[in-house]
Amino acid sequence: MDILEAEVGNIVPLELIEQQLKSKSYKLLTFTHVDTSTAVLNDAKSIGALGKKYNVLTILDGVCSVAGEEIKQEDWGIDVVLTASQKAIGVPPGLALLVASKNAMQTFEQRTSPVANYYGDWTNWLPIMKAYENRQASYFGTPAVNLVIALEKSLQLILKEGLDSRFDRHRRAGKAMRAAIKALGLDLLSKNEQVSANTLSAPLYPNLMDTASFLKAVNQEGVILAGGLLPQLKNSYFRIGHMGSVNKNDLLATVGAIESALKNNGYSHELGLGTAQILKHF
């Protein structure tokens, strides 16, 4: 297995990915669409095209992107898209979801070595799925019934909104949040707009900010933010999720809480600059 890495806040250049694919024969090309730890967005469409060009299976980790960032799995040639229920899908945590292409299914059926992970072995799940399609009873394990019902409801709401409208709403939310953060004089971990995710943002703290006091102050305003996830930069940035059913009022409340917390922790800025950007984009 070969791992390609980029500097924090950026993506691996497509030229480097293609160069690696040229260097030897690979079976799989795996990548994260939106990196949860840095709020960086990969170019899934172009990576899918490289997978098709070099005849490798492409696997997209869409935990922070599915139902928030645009994905055209079939058109882009992505073989497997994986996600979880608790992010932009808008369901409580507990479900692992995936969609596999015919190419991926065929490759699995032709494999000669056993799957090492029992839970992840499609051999256990495929009979259940096929029985469901045929409206027949089949059993592998007790399903998370409440979560499956919640998933159905969430998918109905997603389709009612319309995928194009949903993707556009997330694009506007992402742009609005990044504009608000920059208006407050803060930098972002992502290097530029092209690699910035629309489902979450990762602003850098101001210099000498008491990070624990800041997050506590935000929490007291009724908003919960996540701290930094990268060990080497844990106290240098925080993360804001804006995915799923997030609307203008949610964004205003979040930015307002950030502005208040910054002010209360000694950061000098004009109140209202961030919220003005949210209103401008919505």
Among 130, 161, 192, the domain boundary falls at 161
The answer to whether 78 touches 44, Cβ cutoff 8 Å, is yes
Shared domain check, 100 and 60 = yes
The answer to whether 43 touches 11, Cβ cutoff 8 Å, is yes
Shared domain check, 175 and 141 = no
Share of residues in the chain with pLDDT > 70 (%): 100
- What is the three-state SS of the chain? CCCCCCCCCCCCCHHHHHHHHHHCCCCEEEEECEECCCCEECCHHHHHHHHHHCCCEEEEECCCCCCCCCCCHHHHCCCEEEEECCCCCCCCCCCEEEEECHHHHHHHHCCCCCCCCCCCCHHHHHHHHHHHHCCCCCCCCCCCHHHHHHHHHHHHHHHHHCHHHHHHHHHHHHHHHHHHHHHCCCCECCCCHHHECCCEECEECCCCCCHHHHHHHHHHCCCCCEECCCHHHCCCEEEEECCCCCCHHHHHHHHHHHHHHHHHCCCCCCCCHHHHHHHHHC
**Residue 200 above 90 pLDDT?**
yes
* Per-residue model confidence (pLDDT) at position 142: 86
CATH classification at residue 68 = 3.40.640.10
Shared domain check, 125 and 30 = yes
Across the range 201-211, mean pLDDT stands at 96
Note whether residue 8 is domain-resident: no
Shared domain check, 27 and 153 = yes
Name the band, by pLDDT with cuts 50, 70 and 90, for residue 259: very high
Shared domain check, 195 and 134 = no
Shared domain check, 110 and 63 = yes
* Per-residue model confidence (pLDDT) at position 140: 82
* Per-residue model confidence (pLDDT) at position 81: 98
* Per-residue model confidence (pLDDT) at position 204: 98
Shared domain check, 260 and 231 = yes
Provide the domain count of the chain.
2
Across the range 188-204, mean pLDDT stands at 97
Mean of per-residue pLDDT scores for the chain: 96
pLDDT in tens, 104-156: 999 999 999 999 988 889 999 899 989 989 999 888 888 899 999 999 999 99
Shared domain check, 155 and 22 = yes
Shared domain check, 251 and 147 = no
- Cβ neighbours of residue 273 closer than 8 Å, sequence gap 6 or more: 180, 183, 184, 259
**Residue 93 above 90 pLDDT?**
yes
Residue 250 and residue 200: Cα distance in Å, rounded?
Answer: 13
Shared domain check, 97 and 73 = yes
**Residue 193 above 90 pLDDT?**
yes
**Residue 40 above 90 pLDDT?**
yes
Residue 109 and residue 130: Cα distance in Å, rounded?
Answer: 15
Note whether residue 167 is domain-resident: yes
Note whether residue 7 is domain-resident: no
Shared domain check, 198 and 137 = no
* Per-residue model confidence (pLDDT) at position 184: 97
Shared domain check, 86 and 216 = no
Residue numbers of the domain that contains 174: 163-281
* Per-residue model confidence (pLDDT) at position 178: 98
pLDDT in tens, 147-184: 999 999 999 999 999 999 999 999 999 999 999 999 99
The answer to whether 277 touches 183, Cβ cutoff 8 Å, is yes
Note whether residue 6 is domain-resident: no
Across the range 71-89, mean pLDDT stands at 97
Among 143, 161, 179, the domain boundary falls at 161
CATH classification at residue 185 = 3.90.1150.10
Among 127, 161, 195, the domain boundary falls at 161
Which residue type sits at 128?
I
Residue 179 and residue 181: Cα distance in Å, rounded?
Answer: 6
